Amino acid sequence: MEWHPSTWTRFSATQRSATLSSESPSSRPIWRACSGRAEGKENGLTKKCLVIGASSFIGAYVVDALLDAGYEVVGTGRNRRFTDHYRKLGVEYIPLDLDDPSGIGALPTDFDFVAHLAGRLPANSAFDLSTEDDAAEYIRTNVLGTALLLEWARKNGVRRIVSTTSYADVQNSWSASEPVREDWPRNFRLDGDHAAYVISKNASADLLFYYNEQYGMRNCVFRLPPVYGCGPHGSLRVNGAVKKSGIGLFVDKAKVGEDITVFGDADAAVRDIVYVKDVAQAFIKAGESESASGLYNIGSGRAVSLREQAEAIADVFSGAAGTSEVCVDETRPNGIQPYSFDISRAACDFGYAPAFADFRDLMADWKVEEERGVMPTLFDATHKPSGGLLD
């Protein structure tokens, strides 16, 4: 049986209790036998992947990982800044609006799997909820776009799409004591600037699961916590306004040796943070898996505290000015709701093993990518009025 919230919430209380009673003593779900095996092209044929949203943050790293793994890659997007970048890499880059049926219908068709990373995000939305609402835009792009892509895949014999959903689909159930699991029923907020986004991503995921059940596809949906990496993280939009991100502030201060101040209980404020390169590897592993299907938590498998994050950043980005001191102001709340991820199902089904689970290792590689200069150049206009979109 594959796990996804839409089937889980249809179970009766008796069925749910019976299912949970069959779990191991550690209260972890008993998945089907682990395979971790990947399908490969026989006779030396090159594997092919279509990346929808190749100009998104995660999409750019997925393309790089696919190329390193020997794939032939075709990407789509709306950010023209990526045209020359992909041309130099030998990647065909197709302009595409996800909610345009004619554009999706004209896509090439011979792919081993599709990595679906295009979509509308709160961090990229110019709407201010105090004056207007963009729920229709989320539905048009994230739900209708996925439906069109699924039907294109079905008609053209593409058996697997790997996509993402929001970790906020279970936000009201987060706790520091129990890791988030795939079999949890949805429990999300219906207010705030992320609500319409979460609703749209839930519907998108359900469409992918529907095509699994109805048409025998093997679609996978990754529930992602915050995904860190060198790219557009210096700023984000909150209710339409561009603001410096917390991680961006920490890095900037660390580079010049200024004190980094964290708020509230900096040790209790723990959460799972995953590195973008680990996510990219998960896309390949799931795409090649014989058995992968349904919902998967893709995180680091560790809960890192706010203090640990600040200390790691201060250490990694310290320079001639010295190492920043991490100070704690307990009088101001930090707004972090603690949680962690159980990633055992992904490890079992397709061998997911994050290489950057240690937060310091994550930030050290971030610094390497920043110094390499490719991703900062591609994403430096993401949140400017004339900047590119994240798909």
In DSSP terms, 171 is beta-bridged to: none
In the numeric block, which tokens belong to residue 328? Answer: 């704690």
Q: Report how far residue 96's alpha carbon sits from residue 83's, in angstroms, rounded to the nearest whole number.
A: 12
CB 98 within 8 A of CB 152: no
Q: Report how far residue 111's alpha carbon sits from residue 159's, in angstroms, rounded to the nearest whole number.
A: 9
Stretches where the chain sits below pLDDT 70 are 1-44, 124-127, 129-130, 233-244, 381-391
pTM score of the predicted model:
0.86
CATH of 28-379, one of 3.40.50.720, 3.40.228.10, 3.20.20.80, 3.40.462.20: 3.40.50.720
pLDDT of residue 192: 86
Q: Report how far residue 129's alpha carbon sits from residue 293's, in angstroms, rounded to the nearest whole number.
A: 36
* Count of other CB atoms within 10 angstroms of residue 203: 18
> Distance of alpha carbon 41 from its chain centroid, rounded?
27
Q: Report how far residue 170's alpha carbon sits from residue 177's, in angstroms, rounded to the nearest whole number.
A: 15
pLDDT of residue 45: 78
pLDDT of residue 44: 64
Determine the 3-state secondary structure of 270 from DSSP: strand
Q: Report how far residue 147's alpha carbon sits from residue 153's, in angstroms, rounded to the nearest whole number.
A: 10
pLDDT of residue 100: 87
The domain locations on the chain are 28-379
State the first-to-last Cα distance of the chain, in angstroms, to the nearest integer: 32
pLDDT of residue 8: 38
Q: Report how far residue 243's alpha carbon sits from residue 249's, in angstroms, rounded to the nearest whole number.
A: 10
CB 380 within 8 A of CB 371: no
pLDDT of residue 13: 33
In the numeric block, which tokens belong to residue 365? Answer: 């590689």
Helices in the chain by DSSP H: which ranges? 5-8, 13-21, 57-68, 82-89, 101-105, 135-138, 145-155, 195-215, 246-255, 276-288, 306-316, 344-350, 359-372, 374-379
Question: Is the alpha carbon torsion for 201, 245, 390, 371 positive or negative?
Answer: negative
* Count of other CB atoms within 10 angstroms of residue 150: 25
pLDDT of residue 122: 83
Between the alpha carbon of residue 67 and those of residues 61, 90, 112, 349, the distances in Å are 10, 9, 14, 23
The interaxial angle of helices 57-68 and 276-288, nearest 10 deg, is: 60
Q: Is 331 exposed, middle or buried, given 0-12, 13-18 or 19+ CB atoms closer than 10 A?
A: exposed
Residue written as tokens 């001191």?
325
pLDDT of residue 237: 57
- The per-residue DSSP string of 12-44 comes to -HHHHHHHHHTS-TT----PSPP---B---GGG
* Count of other CB atoms within 10 angstroms of residue 357: 19
